[in-house]
Amino acid sequence: MDAERTVPTSSNFINAFQLIAMNNDLDLSGLFEEEDDNIQKTKLGSKNTISDTFKKIEAAANDLSLSIQRQNNKIKIHPGRSFARCSRSHSNLSAEVIEVAPAHCVVEICKSAGELSVYKEFCKSLSSLLTEKSSIASVAPDAADLSDESQETASSEEEVNGSKDPRGYSSS
């Protein structure tokens, strides 16, 4: 039985597995990956309402000359007309907005085809738009402004009432 298992040690005989093992530059991992592994996914948080989040996705797409097609809470992002003429590559991006709370959303961006640079630029643009203060937040005064106002109010009350006892009441 041992004679049947032995492999000839001749230098002329190399099987495919030995050849692959000898070659460090040969990468066959693409043959064994599933199709879903090629999909790039990014999740971004948004402290905006769902409608504001959709507006920011549209603005990020417009910044890169991409067109969008909205279906419920999903958006398909395609190259714009001028971009499609200049490039032979087909870009397939999509974004899904999940409302976690009334003013908080999660945006999942997926790339299943096309150039990685377009996907990265879109994610970068959208991320910066989502982290900007919304118009609602800019209407509310800053905490520093509130503390300045309360100090001014307290000092004006002291001037009117005279000196105040630190215990909160005046002794007579």
Domain contains 6? no
Give me the amino acid identity at 90. Answer: H
Q: How confident is the model at residue 88 (pLDDT cuts 50, 70, 90)?
A: very low
Q: How far apart are CA 41 and CA 104, in angstroms?
A: 20
Domain contains 155? no
CATH at residue 51: 3.30.310.80
Judge residue 93's burial from the number of C-beta atoms within 10 Å of its C-beta, 0-12 exposed, 13-18 middle, 19 or more buried.
Answer: buried
Domain contains 103? yes
**pLDDT of 118 above 80:** yes
CA angle at 89 for the pair 86 and 91, rounded to the nearest 5°: 110
| β-strands 40-46, 66-71 pairing | unpaired
Q: How far apart are CA 150 and CA 159, in angstroms?
A: 14
Domain contains 13? no
Number of domains comprising the chain: 1
Q: Could you please report the per-residue DSSP string of 30-99? A: HHHS-GGGG-EEEEEEE-S-HHHHHHHHHHHHHHTTEEEEEETTEEEEEE-HHHHHH-----EEEEEEEE
**Lowest-confidence pick of 15-29, 67-81, 85-99:** 15-29
Domain contains 63? yes
Q: How far apart are CA 19 and CA 117, in angstroms?
A: 35
What residues make up the domain containing 117? 37-133
Question: Tens digit of pLDDT for each residue in 27-67?
Answer: 665 555 454 556 788 899 989 999 999 999 999 999 988 98
Let me know: does 120 contact 130? Beta carbons within 8 Å.
no
Give me the amino acid identity at 161. Answer: N
Q: Tell me how crowded residue 147 is: count the other CB atoms within 10 A of its CB.
A: 10
pTM more than 0.75: no
Domain contains 11? no
Q: How confident is the model at residue 79 (pLDDT cuts 50, 70, 90)?
A: confident
